[in-house]
Amino acid sequence: MSLQQEIIAKLGVKPQIDVQEEIRKRVDFLKKSVVDAHLSGLLIAISGGIDSAVAAGLCKTATDELTKETGREYITLGVFQPYGTQKDISDSYAVAEAFQLTHKVETNIEQSVDEIALEVEYGFKNLGIPRHVSKEGKGNIMARTRMVVQYALAFDLRLLVVGTDHASEAITGFFTKYGDGAVDVTPLSTLNKRQVRQLASELGVPQSVLDKAPTAGLWEGQTDEGELGITYEDNSDYLEGKEIDPAAREKLERQYLRTEHKRVPIPGV
């Protein structure tokens, strides 16, 4: 078995999908997850990007169906988490409007993130290595702070926290382990980025979101493809078992092997 075949099998990506079938499967998964956990719904952080938009659409469908089927109210809570001023936050609200989310809240993480970064810099100083937190380090703090807020909301409101992780992120390890990766359920996990876009079109994700360059929003001008040096076109082709440019293949496989620690549970002895 080639490394490509091994990765595809491990991540569970299909070479092609039936969009309606995939939507139904993922909605049913979310409904079962809520019922089995004896909770009241789902929480999804809506960044304004395509992944969280698709997850939001699936969540709202699931909780609407549960409410109708049981006569008990189940909710989808949409959470917007800007760091200071978020230029594209209107896209987050457009997603909430498109899926008629009646429960939504905005929690600005700037002050919390800056305070944590400052404490870290005090730590550096006490170690005799005075320096600022790196750009990447602060991005890591942002990802983890967002999850702290989501879980604080979810705990008291009795909700499951929904992640937007998918196979095109998993193959590159492009997430913060137990930061943005620490969630209760991941309804997109076996889809690549192209397939997420297919679900987005079917669900009615706003065009402004569909047209955006994918970004984790960790600093000004940051994009996934720019940071990784790998296009989502090549990434998705690879996960569908297709041949891609050898240089892109080598880079993708090297990134996969280098980030294996992010995809495994915490090891112990």
Tens digits of residue pLDDT in 14-23 = 999 999 999 9
Predicted pLDDT at 175? 79
pTM for the whole structure: 0.93
225: nearest Cα among 149, 168, 183: 168
Tens digits of residue pLDDT in 64-111 = 999 999 999 999 999 999 999 998 899 999 999 999 999 999 999 999
Counting as low any pLDDT under 70, the low residues of the chain are: 181, 215-219, 221-222
Cite the active site residues: 51, 169
Domains and CATH numbers, the chain: 3-108+143-262 (3.40.50.620)
CA 149 from chain centre, in angstroms, equals: 15
Predicted pLDDT at 72? 97
165: nearest Cα among 192, 146, 199: 192
Predicted pLDDT at 267? 86
